Amino acid sequence: MPFDLSLVDLVTRIKSGGFCAEAVMDAVYLQIDQHNSLLNVYRSLLPREIAISRARIIDEKITSGKGVGKLAGLPVSIKDNICINDPYLSNACGSQILGEYHSPYNATVVEKLLEEDALIIGTTNMDEFAMGSSTENSSFGVTRNPWNTELVPGGSSGGGAVSVASGMALLALGSDTGGSVRQPASMCGITGLKPTYGTVSRYGLVAYGSSLDQIGCITRGAADCRYAFSILNGHDVNESTSAKIELSAAPEVAELSSLRICLPDEYVDAESADPEVIASVNELAELLKKQGATVERRSLDFLKYVIPTYYVLAFAEASSNLGRFDGIRYGIRKQEQPSLKSLYTTTRKKGFGEEVKRRIMLGTFVLSSGYYDQYYGRAVKVRAWMEEQVTLLFKDFDFILGPVSPFPAFKLGEKTEDPLAMYLADICSVLANLTRTPAISIPGRPTMDGLPVGLQLMGRRFEDHRLLATAEAIQELTEYHLLRPEKYFPQNH
Ligand code: GLN
């Protein structure tokens, strides 16, 4: 089955004729036909016959001896906020306000995927404009967790994570502003990478918090993430924050014995932390020690400021970025009275959901004259200070270890009434965005009920290759990434 192979192995087999792209697509569409209606993964999807015909083109290229790319024939999903110009697909960013928006151009990451002959089959459900941690803020209904369909899949890239966890895609692209690639990956038992800010182009990603947003990849294991990242990464002249710095090289197989790991007290002693999640973190810490690594507990005082700093900055940037959705340029247009003001206000009132409106209002407030210095200006300074602290910390340590989320997947509806509780759950993930560092979520030991638990490793800026190689070496030992929701893969059991 295609689901048992790594992306590299699968592509190698497709290229050598051991497997055909059509059969891979067929297997993925079988999963989609059976499970998409309940799990609600895809926002827009290629009709089956179109997907199959595109797969056949790849097979024909191979049989006629033409060269194909590094992702030849692989079914890939992209988050609904990554622009794609395809007659069958649309971008709504999980929002009513965009209607069925068709992008006139492809995001750079989409171009890169297509250049390597990947087959992008659909756009995946997400929290509206990537604001949320459970995919419950989508205007198009919730996405369900394949491990237990009464639970959230995490968010905001919940659709993308579920597409990989349920075999409806082999690679998913998501966006991570404060954890949205890592946290759903953690809740769905798979692997999610948030690369160093600037290493993967944001051109064509609909902006939420531009200084925090980063496109990342979601795959079953770290080896696949590593492969996908090597294709997606690179400078882009179309994107002003795209980094020109060469990434540090890493050995093919990472050495675990010499690693120095920091385990912050605040991550493991937090009151909200689930004991089973902490047990899972400790298990990995012990395993690393057995390999010869040092794992040291440290209290990091600045961690108490990460949530307020993140939310002030993210809301401020969102309020500015979402100004463009005004009923003139994109999507729906509503009007109560014949005036321009009514066109703006009615469109925005009817088009945006509750959480997005809350954030726009709070963001506008923290940027308003009189309050700017007190909130936004201060958050910018705190962020700079945190970056210094983290740089210092990385003189003593190679990685920071922790959970991704303080708890495993929770019940649908459990936290929707309490936005603050939802924000506080981002305590472990937002630091990587604030400090622009790379971080990966890998599956750890599941809970007694068999629910996935994600563990996070955060590395130095531009050491993404090393982070990925280390995650891969850990997965070679733990093999937790091989677990999957049985019901969705009966052929494997
Ligand atoms: N949960 C965070 C938020 O709501 C992160 C979202 C994201 O990374 N897009 O802002």
**Residue from 125, 360, 362, 426 to probe ligand 1 pocket by mutation (most atoms less than 8 Å from CB):** 426
Show Cβ contacts of residue 413 under 8 Å, excluding neighbours closer than 6 positions.
136
**Residue from 127, 312, 424, 436 to probe ligand 1 pocket by mutation (most atoms less than 8 Å from CB):** 127
Question: Which atom of ligand 1 lies closest to the CA of 310?
Answer: 10
Q: How far is the CA of 102 from the centre of ligand 1 (A)?
A: 24
The ligand 1 site (C-beta within 6 Å) comprises: 130-133, 156, 175-180, 208, 314, 426
pLDDT at 492: 55
**β-bridge partners, 443:** 454
**pTM for this model (two decimals):** 0.97
299 part of a folded domain? no
Which tokens belong to 165? 């966890």
Length of the chain: 493
Catalytic: which of 156, 242, 429, 441? Answer: 156
Based on the residue annotation, tell me whether 299 is a catalytic residue of this protein. no
Q: How far is the CA of 318 from the centre of ligand 1 (A)?
A: 11
181 part of a folded domain? yes
Distance (Å, whole) CA 456 – CA 183: 9
| Domain total in the chain | 1
241 part of a folded domain? yes
Catalytic: which of 77, 180, 186, 405? Answer: 180
Question: Which atom of ligand 1 lies closest to the CA of 131?
Answer: 4
Q: How far is the CA of 176 from the centre of ligand 1 (A)?
A: 7
CB 125 within 8 A of CB 42: yes
Q: Please, what is the Cα angle at 39 between 38 and 44, to 5 degrees?
A: 100
Other CB atoms within 10 Å distance of the CB of residue 56? 15
One digit per residue, the tens of pLDDT, for the chain of length 493 reads 789 999 999 999 999 988 999 999 999 999 999 999 999 999 999 999 999 999 999 999 999 999 999 999 999 999 999 999 999 999 999 999 998 899 999 999 999 999 999 999 999 999 999 999 999 999 999 999 999 999 999 999 999 999 999 999 999 999 999 999 999 999 999 999 999 999 999 999 999 999 999 999 999 999 999 999 999 999 999 999 999 988 988 888 899 999 999 999 999 987 779 999 999 999 999 999 999 999 999 999 999 999 999 999 999 999 999 999 999 988 899 998 899 999 999 999 999 999 999 999 999 999 999 999 999 999 999 999 999 999 999 999 999 999 999 999 999 999 999 999 899 999 999 999 999 999 999 999 999 999 999 999 999 999 999 999 999 999 999 999 999 999 999 765 4
373 part of a folded domain? no
317 part of a folded domain? no
Show Cβ contacts of residue 8 under 8 Å, excluding neighbours closer than 6 positions.
223, 224, 227
Give nearest CA residue, ligand 1 atom 4: 132
Q: What is the CATH number of the domain that holds 92?
A: 3.90.1300.10
Based on the residue annotation, tell me whether 180 is a catalytic residue of this protein. yes
156 part of a folded domain? yes
| Residue 430: domain span | 2-257+398-492
Q: How far is the CA of 356 from the centre of ligand 1 (A)?
A: 12
Sheet of 191-194, strands arranged across: 42-45, 119-124, 75-79, 171-176, 214-219, 191-194, 439-443, 454-458, 399-403, 260-264, 294-298
300 part of a folded domain? no
Q: How far is the CA of 155 from the centre of ligand 1 (A)?
A: 7
Which tokens belong to 296? 């040291």
Based on the residue annotation, tell me whether 156 is a catalytic residue of this protein. yes
pLDDT at 493: 47
pLDDT in tens, 358-382: 999 999 999 999 999 999 999 999 9
**Residue from 133, 193, 356, 360 to probe ligand 1 pocket by mutation (most atoms less than 8 Å from CB):** 133
Q: How far is the CA of 157 from the centre of ligand 1 (A)?
A: 9
329 part of a folded domain? no
pLDDT at 269: 87
391 phi/psi in degrees, rounded to 5: -60, -45
